[in-house]
Amino acid sequence: MERTLVLIKPDGVRRNIIGEVISRIERKGLKIVALDLRTLDAETAKTHYEEHAARPFFESLVEFITGGPLVAMVVEGERAVEAFRALAGATDPVQAAPGTIRGDFALEVQQNIVHGSDSTYSADREIKLFFPDLA
């Protein structure tokens, strides 16, 4: 069974749509196998987003993602990486289709409500970073 790391980012927590996002994950048939509300430190945020380190928006992204509590989850199911990315919609919420999480709840590319691992390789790395004790 495949696993993916999902974050409900600080903008999603601030807007009180944790339940909405979790409900969509569960309705799809995916299973939440770990869940934690926490505020990231800068080091963890930089490690999580290391592939974007050279991007002009990196510093701002780290500031945003550490700026309040987020919900980190491990989500499991058939093709979980791809399944969650389909639920999330395109990174740019204006391009994201209505009916997707980003398409329904966001307008800005940085404050796009959720993160989902982009591959099974990234999922392994990100799950180890957020939930090192998970079997």
For ligand CMP, the binding residues (CB under 6 A) are 52, 57, 61, 91, 109-110, 112, 115
Q: Residue for token digits 């099974």?
A: 120
Task: State the catalytic residue, choosing from 3, 24, 48, 115.
Answer: 115
91 is in an annotated binding site: yes
Q: Nearer to ligand CMP by C-beta: 127 or 133?
A: 127
Q: Which two tokens stand for residue 130?
A: 């957020």
Q: Residue for token digits 């987003």?
A: 49
112 is in an annotated binding site: yes
Greatest Cα-to-Cα distance within the chain, rounded to the nearest angstrom: 37
How far apart are the C-alpha atoms of 102 and 3, rounded to whole Å? 21
Q: Are 31 and 77 in contact (CB under 8 A)?
A: yes
Q: Nearer to ligand CMP by C-beta: 126 or 131?
A: 126
Q: How far is the CB of 132 from ligand CMP (least distance, A)?
A: 20
Provide the residue type at 11 as one letter.
D
Q: Nearer to ligand CMP by C-beta: 30 or 45?
A: 45
52 among known catalytic residues: no
Query: Which regions of 39-113 does DSSP assign to beta strands (E)?
Result: 70-77
16 is in an annotated binding site: no
Q: How far is the CB of 50 from ligand CMP (least distance, A)?
A: 11
How far apart are the C-alpha atoms of 133 and 135, rounded to whole Å? 6
Q: How far is the CB of 135 from ligand CMP (least distance, A)?
A: 26
Q: Which two tokens stand for residue 44?
A: 């963890």
Which residues are catalytic, by number? 115
* Binding-site residue ranges: 9, 57, 85, 91, 102, 112
Sequence ranges of the binding site for ATP: 9, 57, 85, 91, 102, 112
